[in-house]
DNA sequence: TCTGGGGTCCTAGGACCC
DNA sequence: TCTGGGGTCCTAGGACCC
């Protein structure tokens, strides 16, 4: 059996850990740049605030209804997530961290009563981290996702361990809510009369193969109880790494945009070094405001091949700036730039270049020491001059909560 | 005025090889 | 006049996930 443990309204729940007075009140967390609503408390959902809604459209409504609003604080959520995953590892040696707020936990070899065990997991996470979770248990990942959804409507735990329960669960789950079935497939399936997960398990496999590829076929088998999606316990290195941000305000100055691009490139380099990889390609993209009524939308991108795969700051920045200069058109008002690195290989296995020799060890050392200093003293304490200091491209984060668990000077103060 | 930021996998079709 | 049969690699686009 596999348990899916999933934090309820995760980002909002993280904020509530340090603001217990918010319990029972409407709370939302916004995306970067305070753009869209990306996490809502149950009370906020009840008010009709939708996932992904632009915050500015709901500003007045949220003020009138005393909704507490937070900018996203990924440092905090990431830290609480790590703690949650560590706690889960006490329950099973086989934990797959699936996303920031959920994990699959293999219950293979656990002899305790499944229902009791699931309740114990839920209670322990709540006690240790302060986050409410739902636990869904079933034979396959796809079924445990369904169990988890049912759990959240009940007391937080749902175990599907018999044919009767399975059929009930499948009959009471819309096909659109099944893991692996998105909007497009749901529409197509509904149009031929497939409404529930149960209907889908009765659908002809050849039709599924033809219209939804092998991925759809796996979903059908998983719903029937045959595992097709394995547990993946080891963190796999990323095949693509991206750092992209919308600007705090629209920009047309290439020098300021260069600061943003080079900082994004450095972030990508840091992510590469963290997973001990190097990248062979770098893509730079830039675009204007896609929502603008008055200006035309312009999107451009450029992919460059590095002479030698690299993960050091100055290499990636050099290529990124080069790419930007090729894309940049004066007089346009830009809204966002991004850097994506790909062609990722192991740090230790680098193909040298016929013309440029091997990697420059000195520059790699500089990057490593920069990492150490920045980890100890704070992000970008040591940086390249081109990264600059102009605030215009930086995110809007007007409602940011403190970094309660990761910065000494932002620790919660308690009066006793 | 104000609309996020990451990822993965699969397939078809074209270009190429013998 | 007749024009096979087997592969691989790459890319763009489309679907999905959080």
C-alpha separations of A201 from A4, A14, A166, A174, A206 in Å: 21, 37, 12, 12, 12
Look up the protein residue whose alpha carbon has the minimum distance to the C1' of B10: A213
pTM, rounded to two decimals: 0.93
Is strand B less than 7 A from the beta carbon of A271? yes
- Could you say which nucleotides of strand B lie within 7 A of any protein CB atom? 1-11
Look up the protein residue whose alpha carbon has the minimum distance to the C1' of C17: A180
Query: Straight-line distance from CA A98 to C1' B17, in Å?
Result: 41
Is strand C less than 7 A from the beta carbon of A141? no
Q: Of all nucleotides in the shown strands, which has a C1' nearest the CA of A51?
A: B4
Q: Are A147 and A4 in contact (CB under 8 A)?
A: yes
Query: Straight-line distance from CA A35 to C1' B4, in Å?
Result: 7
Total count of residues recorded for chain A:
416
Query: Straight-line distance from CA A66 to C1' C8, in Å?
Result: 61
Residue A239 phi, psi (nearest 5): -95, -20
Query: Straight-line distance from CA A284 to C1' C12, in Å?
Result: 18
C-alpha separations of A305 from A178, A191, A281, A319 in Å: 40, 45, 5, 9
Is strand B less than 7 A from the beta carbon of A33? yes
Q: Quote the pLDDT of residue A409.
A: 86
Is strand B less than 7 A from the beta carbon of A184? no
Is strand B less than 7 A from the beta carbon of A215? yes
Q: Of all nucleotides in the shown strands, which has a C1' nearest the CA of A182?
A: C16
Query: Straight-line distance from CA A185 to C1' C18, in Å?
Result: 18
Which residues of chain A have a pLDDT value below 70? 350-360
Query: Straight-line distance from CA A135 to C1' B7, in Å?
Result: 24
| Cβ count within 10 A of residue A304 | 16
Q: Which of residues 129-148 of A touch strand B (CB under 7 A)?
A: none
Q: Of all nucleotides in the shown strands, which has a C1' nearest the CA of A214?
A: B10
* Exposure of A130 in the CB half-sphere (CA atoms within 13 A): 14
- A38-44 LR contacts (CB < 8 Å, sep 24+): A38/A11, A38/A72, A39/A9, A39/A10, A39/A11, A39/A12, A40/A9, A40/A12, A41/A9, A41/A12, A41/A16, A42/A9, A44/A12
Q: Are A36 and A52 in contact (CB under 8 A)?
A: yes
- What confidence tens digit (pLDDT) does each residue in A44-67 have? 999 999 999 999 999 999 999 999
Is strand B less than 7 A from the beta carbon of A239? yes
- Could you say which nucleotides of strand C lie within 7 A of any protein CB atom? 14-18
Is strand C less than 7 A from the beta carbon of A218? no
Q: Are A28 and A12 in contact (CB under 8 A)?
A: yes
Is strand C less than 7 A from the beta carbon of A182? yes
Distance CA A336, CA A338 (A): 7
- A85-89 LR contacts (CB < 8 Å, sep 24+): A87/A124, A87/A125, A87/A128, A87/A129, A88/A5, A88/A121, A88/A125
Is strand B less than 7 A from the beta carbon of A381? no
Query: Straight-line distance from CA A127 to C1' C18, in Å?
Result: 25
Q: Of all nucleotides in the shown strands, which has a C1' nearest the CA of A57?
A: B2
Q: Are A336 and A245 in contact (CB under 8 A)?
A: yes
Query: Straight-line distance from CA A334 to C1' B13, in Å?
Result: 35
Is strand C less than 7 A from the beta carbon of A337? no
Query: Straight-line distance from CA A242 to C1' C12, in Å?
Result: 19
Residue A96's contacts (CB-CB under 8 Å, 6 or more residues apart) are A103, A104, A105, A106, A231, A232, A233
Q: Which of residues 78-107 of A touch strand C (CB under 7 A)?
A: 98-99, 101-102
Q: Are A100 and A114 in contact (CB under 8 A)?
A: no
Q: Give me A71's structure tokens.
A: 């900018």
């Amino acid at each position: 059996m596999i348990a899916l443990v999933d934090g309820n309204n995760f980002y909002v729940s993280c904020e509530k850990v340090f603001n217990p007075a918010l319990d029972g009140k409407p709370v939302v967390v916004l995306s970067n740049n305070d753009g869209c609503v990306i996490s809502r408390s149950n009370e906020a959902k009840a008010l009709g605030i939708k996932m992904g809604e632009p915050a500015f459209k709901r500003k007045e409504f949220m003020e009138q209804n005393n909704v507490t609003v937070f900018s996203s604080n990924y440092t905090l959520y990431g830290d609480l997530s790590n703690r949650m995953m560590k706690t889960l590892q006490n329950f099973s040696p086989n934990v797959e961290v699936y996303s920031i707020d959920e994990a699959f936990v293999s219950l293979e070899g656990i002899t305790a009563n499944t229902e009791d065990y699931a309740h114990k997991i839920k209670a322990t996470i709540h006690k240790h981290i302060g986050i409410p979770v739902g636990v869904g248990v079933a034979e396959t990942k796809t079924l445990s996702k369904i169990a988890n959804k049912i759990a959240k409507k009940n007391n937080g735990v749902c175990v599907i361990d018999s044919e009767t329960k399975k059929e009930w669960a499948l009959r009471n789950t819309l096909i659109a809510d099944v893991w692996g079935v998105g909007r497009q497939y749901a529409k197509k399936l509904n149009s031929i009369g497939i409404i529930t997960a149960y209907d889908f398990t009765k659908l002809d496999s050849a039709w599924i193969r033809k219209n939804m590829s092998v991925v759809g076929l796996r979903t059908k088998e998983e719903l029937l109880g045959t595992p097709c999606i394995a547990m993946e316990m080891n963190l796999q290195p990323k095949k693509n790494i991206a750092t992209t941000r919308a600007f705090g305000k629209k920009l047309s100055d290439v020098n300021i945009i260069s600061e943003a691009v080079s900082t994004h490139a450095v972030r990508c380099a840091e992510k590469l070094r963290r997973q001990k990889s190097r990248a062979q390609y770098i893509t730079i993209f830039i675009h204007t405001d896609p929502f603008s009524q008055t200006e035309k939308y312009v999107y451009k991108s450029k992919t460059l091949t590095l002479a030698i795969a690299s993960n050091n700051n100055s290499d990636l920045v050099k290529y990124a700036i080069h790419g930007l200069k090729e894309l940049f058109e004066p007089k346009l008002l830009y809204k966002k730039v991004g850097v994506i690195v790909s062609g990722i290989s192991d740090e230790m296995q680098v193909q040298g270049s016929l013309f440029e020799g091997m990697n420059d060890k000195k520059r790699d050392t500089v990057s490593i020491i920069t990492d150490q200093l920045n980890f100890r003293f704070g992000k970008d304490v040591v940086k390249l001059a081109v990264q600059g200091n102009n605030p215009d491209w930086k995110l809007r984060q007007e409602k940011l909560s403190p970094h309660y668990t990761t910065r000494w000077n932002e620790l919660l103060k308690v009066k006793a």
